[in-house]
Amino acid sequence: MSHYSRLDKIVIDAADADHDRELAFWQGALGTPMSQVQRFPEYHWADLPGAQLSLLVQRLDTGSPRVHLDIHTDDLEAEVSRLEGLGARRVITTNGWWIMEDPAGLPFCVIPEPPGRLTDDNAHRWDS
């Protein structure tokens, strides 16, 4: 059985005290407004013109500022298992997705996509 995945987002994690300045900076730097995500108000999102990536600025409750990547997939367990085989490790599941660490200990997320959104045209197909 095969599944799809792709790098979908660059996420800037900012401390609560710095969030508004960080958001204003990235909106100005990119010349594009970032919309608050209704379901997750701690996120502000924008597509990046000319790229199949989007940018997310996330307000952190705790933790240090950092940048992390989001991988989207149509088969969460298959993708997480594939990445574990490459040396990643599961940290915690939250909101229906996995927060993981790469072999160097850097965080990233693996997020499920509804069936049919990822295709040969916009993602990598992994044959298992």
The pTM of this model reads: 0.92
**In terms of residue numbers, what domain contains 104?**
2-127
Q: Which amino acid is at 60?
A: L
pLDDT in tens, 84-103: 999 999 999 999 999 999 99
Q: Which of 12, 16, 37 is closest to 25 using CA atoms?
A: 12
For 2-30, the pLDDT digits (tens) are: 999 999 999 999 999 999 999 999 999 99
- Which amino acid, one-letter code, is at 29? A
Mean pLDDT of 73-77: 98
Nearest to 112 by CA among 88, 78, 82: 78
- Where residue 50 falls (left for φ over 0; alpha for ψ -120 to 50; beta otherwise) is left
Q: How many domains does the chain have?
A: 1
Residue 80 token pair:
């997480």
**pLDDT exceeds cutoff 80 at 128:** no
Q: How many CA atoms lie within 13 A of 76 on its CB side?
A: 16
* Consecutive H or E run containing 72: strand 66-73
C-alpha 67/C-alpha 73 separation (Å) is 20
Residue 51: what pLDDT?
A: 85
Apex 120 CA angle, 76 and 94, nearest 5: 20
Question: Which pair of structure tokens corresponds to residue 43?
Answer: 């996120």
CATH number, domain of 75, equals 3.10.180.10
